[in-house]
Amino acid sequence: MVNLPEKYCENMKELLQEEYTDYIDSLSEKTYQAIRINTRKISLQQWEKINPFRTSPIPWVENGFYIEDAMGNGQNESGQQESPIPSRHPYYYAGLYYIQEPSAMIPASLLPVTPGDKVLDLCAAPGGKATELGAKLQGHGLLVANDISVSRTMALAKNLQIAGIQNCLVTAETPEKLASVFTNFFDKVLIDAPCSGEGMFRREPRMVHDWEEKGPAYYAKIQKEILTQAYQMLKPGGKMVYSTCTFSLQEDEAVIEWFLDIYQDMKVCPVERKEGFLPGRPEGIAAREELKHCVRIFPHKAKGEGHFAVLLQKGDSVADAEETQRSRESLTKEHKKQLEDSIEDLTITIEDRSQKGSFSKKKEYQRNKSDKKKGKSGREKFEKASQGQTVQKADMQTKEFLSHLPFEEGRYVSHNNQISFEPLWIESLSKLRIVHKGVAVCEIKQKTALSHQLALCLRDEDFDQVINFQAADPQVIRYLKGESIQTDMAYRGNILVCVDGFGLGWCQGSGTTLLKNKYYPGWRYQ
């Protein structure tokens, strides 16, 4: 049982009244494990065919599922097969799902993101909401995922990469700094605001200490500042979700009441009422009736922790939505041409052209043979590179490879022997502290090293050399641990390693049946 502060108990008694005892009893009950399927990589129909867990649906999120009895691999004492641990399954490493608290799935589900939108997740770390917003975009538009903490953005960037979100930009800035760059820029904004964390007391009892130290009044001030900056970045007609994981009226309805008073072109939007959704509580404050459209989750009423969320809209929605649609239709051809032009105009610096690796064993052999005939040494070319004399247009092999990657909207750029795919609209963001952007494709040195992030964006049909493990194959875990792969045939060059068709990482062949493991060391199976 969580040891709750006396003042907090008084507040909850006033809020819940006759339901207070039920709430207190719920704090002694179990918490719920859940996953959210990454629809950027796999459809729900496909997931149903390969789902290795015992699951039940979360009523408020179509792609969310409770995990039943996630205990481990193998069999329990009764001889029954146990459900695998979600964080240790190969599908987790392939980015097919995100492990997330059930009520925390609500904010991203309420924001009506469509492909082509420019979307901001303002307080994004560690990435639970950002990965879902990125999935909704389906490779079109732009996702800016921000967190003020540089250290927290490391986990954010990793989770976006695992999820295969290529049209994203990860920043570590204050809302004020972002607002100075992105004025009236975003179609959709999500604010999962820092809060007193009352809804997480059962799952994370340490949050109680933070509540005692700071409390709702401290966070309400921060929340109002964040909303002010978010308003500046939201387009007329754009939509915004504000959410917290607290029950406090001071941080929830009262903050929205204040916001609506200040920005009178903002309105609360009704949302579909799902099982477990309770209405907002305007009766506890100045009482706008429209605040009943807010969503509340309580642990004694739903299989989740605690959350508050509200969908807001700015300005004339009809006119602006129509204009946005017309604009996107006219940009489709332009975006395709931009991508094609970026491949054609790509320049790269080659340190050692004679030893440059290829994307298939056949092409690599042909290139090495051709270089030997010319009699040019790798040393000569390295010396030229150091003199800045090897900057040139990408060769046809590289262009062909890039043109077949499953990226639809963006451009290819190169810097210091590295080729990356970047989303559009980020040409003039030098003022921002950018932690990650787009997809690192490859690094061209003596051999072409394809990035781990690229592998996580690919399927088995996207590459010419593939080793495809089934999830139950013990070799897939050995691969994730960094061990070499023994095969029945010899490979040369880069090989994409997949689990049930979904990219995991790379291995390297040198003409033998033993392949060098190229799985990113920092992300290995532990």
DSSP secondary structure of 351-390: S-GGG---SSHHHHHHHHHHHHHHT--HHHHHHHHHTT--
3-state helix/strand/coil string of 434-480: EEEECEEEEEECCCEEECHHHHCCCEHHHCCCEEEECCCCHHHHHHH
Identify which of 404, 409, 395 has the alpha carbon closest to the alpha carbon of residue 344.
395
Half-sphere exposure of 167 (CA within 13 A, CB side): 28
Query: What are the beta bridge partners of residue 459?
Result: 502
> Sheet holding 34-37: strands in order across?
55-57, 64-67, 34-37, 97-99
Cα(306)–Cα(308) distance, integer angstroms: 7
* Distance, first Cα to last Cα, the chain: 32
245 included as an active-site residue = yes
Which listed residue (168, 195, 245, 507) is catalytic?
245
Phi and psi angles of residue 2, each rounded to the nearest 5 degrees, phi first: -75, 135
Identify which of 517, 397, 392, 518 has the alpha carbon closest to the alpha carbon of residue 454.
518
Phi and psi angles of residue 245, each rounded to the nearest 5 degrees, phi first: -110, 45
Which residues does the annotation mark as catalytic?
245
